[in-house]
Structure 1
Amino acid sequence: MGRIPGRTQDGGPEVAFRFTPAAGSVRPAGIDWSPAVTASPLRVALYVPALAGGGAERAAAVLASGFREAGCRVRLFVDFDAPENRGFLDPGVTVTALGRGHGAAVRALAGHLRAGRGDPAARLDVVLAVGGAANVKLTLARLLARASVPVVLSYHGRSDVGRGLLGGLAFRLAPVLTRLAARSVCVSQALAHHLVEEWRGAAARIAVIPNAVPVEAALPAADAAALLARPPVILSVGRLAPEKEFPTLIRAFARLPGEPRLVILGEGPERAALEALAGSLGLGDRVALPGYAASPWPAYAGARVFALSSRSEGFGNVVVEALASGLPVVATDCGGPREILDDGRHGALVPVGDEAALAAALAEALARPGEPGPRRDRAARYATARVVADYLALFGGVGHGGLSSSPGPA
């Protein structure tokens, strides 16, 4: 079992790696966590290939906006413009398109990192990569630029979920990447263990900070009676891709008595197969796949229960969104959701791929949705301001001697 040094929120001694939900992060030892005192705002840049439809991409937009709200000067580098998550981005964030193609993007990004050496106005205090491909490309750009700006990488999903060539390289090169970076962030304890134990990431240079979720935008149910008064709608949200295991959810739904409805928000390559499966089970118009929703909050507000059927989740933004909306959550025990649900205290956990267990838990939640208040309280732990504060603490260590911008020991 790998061990990741950390300190509790009250500054206690080094402990075995653990997730501290109230603080939202595990903080590596040896860092000055006091807020940085600077004469000018912190200049933060984020790099994500595009603000396309996905959890990591949404996290990038929300984080950039949160840094802006916290008083930072924020730049967002993207390879190309994409509209899906642009609505989550504060208009005050400067967006720079680097150009399509990995090589072009790396060279352009290196130019921006290099520019700070001769132009104080262009200098960056820290750059955060969001996602596996961004981790690889930002590291290459920094090496190409021979820049001293500290780089923080972030991992948002496991290696066994389709990540593309560069996303896979982010894990295969983890022993090198996590030592070249000032720090690498994992969005859950489970993902950090995966990175360290299976891919030999540098444990001492890894922190856990969950995704920021704009829970303040939720439209929560008032109480249990209000939930029970809603139509029996089960909502799920995610890309229509194999790792989300929507066939298991549809088969579980087919076992339920009565006439509930299932709504799956998202788009992806599995659409035709899922529609065919629903038709073959005779579910007719009781299963709806309305596509991607830039703002899912109204859909949560119209549902009685939320379901997640994934085989693997690095974190699970949608679980937090459901809790913020006051919905009972039924989720497969696939990584991040266990931590969000606090080992099942705030929602039901069922084995991955077990449609009978999933159906039983959904039936129970439909019949007895319970009080939304404790769920909203749990979701507040992942509010943007809290997560941004953890990142700013990490960045403060970058600039004040607590965090080296050059390779260090494991």
Structure 2
Amino acid sequence: MVRIVFVIPSFSGGGAERVMLTLIKHIDRKHVEPILIVMNDQGPLRSLIPSDITVYDLKTVRLRNGIYKLINKIRNLEPSVIISTFTHINVTLLALKPLISKPTKLIIREANTPSRSLKSTHSPNFFRFMCRHYYPKADVVLCSSALIENEMKEKFKVPTSKIFRLNNPIDIDNIRSFAPVPVNHKDFAKYFVAAGRLTHQKGFDRLLVDFAKTPRDFCLIILGEGPELKNLTKQIKSLDLQKRVFLEGFKENPWSIISGADAFLLPSRWEGMSNVSLEALACGVSVIATPEAGGIREILKFVPQGSLTIAPSGEHFVKALVKTKTTHIHENRPSLLPNDWDVVNVTKKFENIILNTI
């Protein structure tokens, strides 16, 4: 039995957390004993933890205040493998690897494109140095897109032998079971949905500017929580969008809302591979994304024609919205997501990577 410790900062509603929790849920218990360490046991995704998983809450908001607890807990658990997917935790674990039992393997997953994401940290130069110095020391580096793979090789000099492509695991059947009857907004000619943490990265501010240029009978629902909530609320008012743009917060089941949309919108300034966009495709909903939105454009050749549109923010994005076909459907559409992203296939590959690493 292989003991694996997963490390995440919290149960906030981000895609990286959801990916980790999905892998934990579906990994084969016959071969693997998954254990979860969380820095702070808070957030809406807490309910997704399977009942058979042991969770250790370090009860600290900041990593630097919980480093001793984290290393001590790992040493006590004596895992075969440690898995982390957040840059600040990745570099911390790699830097402190000498304090962990030597047989323990360290697998890191990079969820974003560091060339962009590190600029948003409080110390970009420091984290860039740490990534360049320590990422090559990982036993395995998991990448969700070719874009991230290339950055790992070219910017951080990670050996090709350590880099593995692992698609985001999407539980297609489960997602579709939560959306048997799509939610429609019949009072509007077209109905769009966007979702994600309300942060600068996600680009909802520029989406609002674009949406203000669409016909007044277009509706937009934005799902998610985050620090930009007040600013976005003010922006909606200043653009006179109160009657057709709605901030509806975090939803445990966003898929019934997404599945009724004419299109899902991804206006991100940077991404690794947008998890919620993949979920939208699994719901049978087409996606309109900006070129900067990471690896999503890489699946263009794998999805049906017209189901994924790449359009720069501004005039081209507005045109894509206007050209979107109206659906007003009352039942689920067939999934548009290729099976390479299905949770069963991804988890099997994940297990093989682990077993071949130890």
Q: How well do the aligned residues superpose, as a CA RMSD in angstroms?
A: 3.1
Report what 1:363 is aligned to. Answer: 322
**Letter of the structure 2 residue corresponding to residue 145 of structure 1:** I
Q: Please list every run of 5 or more consecutive structure 1 residues that lacks an aligned counterpart in the other structure.
A: 1-40, 116-121, 400-410
Letter in 1 for 2:97: R
- Percentage of pairs with the same residue: 25
**Mapping of residues 223-302 of structure 1, within 5 Å:** 232-302=190-260
Q: Report the TM-score, using the length of structure 1 for normalisation.
A: 0.76
Q: Distance in 2 between matches of 1:285 and 1:71?
A: 53
- Residue in structure 1 matched with residue 66 of structure 2 by the alignment: 105
Aligned length: 350
Q: Counterpart in 1 of 2:286?
A: 328
Query: Once the 2 structures are TM-superposed, how far is the Cα of residue 68 of structure 1 from its aligned partner?
Result: 5.2
SS of 2:284's equivalent?
A: coil
Query: 1:267: Cα distance to partner?
Result: 1.6
Q: Distance in 2 between matches of 1:238 and 1:181?
A: 29
Aligned-pair CA distance for 1:368: 6.7
Amino acid at match of 2:349: D
In 2, distance between residues paired with 1:384 and 1:295?
A: 18
**Given residue 95 of structure 1, which amino acid in structure 2 is its aligned partner?**
V
Match of 1:310, SS? Answer: coil
SS at match of 1:284: coil
User: What letter matches 1:147 in structure 2?
Assistant: K
Q: What residue in structure 1 maps to residue 145 of structure 2?
A: 188
Separation in structure 1 between the aligned mates of residue 67 and residue 124 of structure 2, nearest angstrom: 15
Tell me how far apart the structure 2 counterparts of residues 113 and 197 of structure 1 sit (CA, whole Å). 32
Asked whether the equivalents of residues 178 and 205 of structure 1 are also in contact (C-alpha less than 8 Å), the reply is: no
Give the CA deviation at 1:346. Answer: 5.5
Matches within 5 A, 1:370-381: 376-381=335-340
Instruction: Please say which of residues 178-187 and 268-277 is displaced more in the overlay.
Output: 268-277
Change (3 A) 1:282 1:114: closer
The answer for unaligned runs of 5 or more in structure 2 is: none
Q: Distance in 1 between matches of 2:29 and 2:124?
A: 30
Describe the SS at the equivalent of 1:257.
coil
Amino acid at match of 1:219: R
Q: For 2:246 and 2:30, how far apart are their aligned partners in 1? A: 39
Q: Which amino acid aligns with 2:13?
A: G
1:53 maps to 2:13: yes
1:169/1:330 CA distance change after superposition, 3 Å: same
The answer to whether residue 167 in structure 2 is matched with residue 210 in structure 1 is yes
Cα distance, 1:168 vs structure 2: 7.0
After the TM superposition, list the runs of 4 or more consecutive aligned residues in structure 1 that deviate by more than 6 angstroms.
220-223, 226-230, 368-372
Shift of 1:166: 7.9
1:140 alignment counterpart: 95
CA distance in 1, matches of 2:187, 2:128: 44
Alpha-carbon distance between aligned partners in 2 of 1:44 and 1:298, rounded to the nearest angstrom? 34
**CA distance 1:142–1:80, change in 2 (3 Å):** same
Structure 2 CA distance for partners of 1:382 and 1:352, relative to 1, 3 Å: same
- 1:15-62 deviation per Cα after TM superposition (whole angstroms, max 9, x unaligned): xxxxxxxxxxxxxxxxxxxxxxxxxx3322211122222111111111
- Preserved CA contact (<8 Å) 1:233 1:305: yes
Give 1:388's aligned residue.
347
Q: Calculate the TM-score normalised by the size of structure 2.
A: 0.86
Q: Helix, strand or coil: the match of 1:212?
A: coil
Matched, 1:75 2:35: yes
CA distance in 1, matches of 2:120, 2:5: 23
Q: Report the Cα distance in structure 1 between the residues aligned to 2:204 and 2:40, rounded to whole angstroms.
A: 30
Question: Could you say if the C-alpha distance between residues 222 and 267 of structure 1 is closer, same or farther in structure 2, counting changes exceeding 3 Å?
Answer: closer
> Aligned equivalents of 1:215 and 1:79: distance in 2?
29
Counterpart secondary structure, 1:199: coil
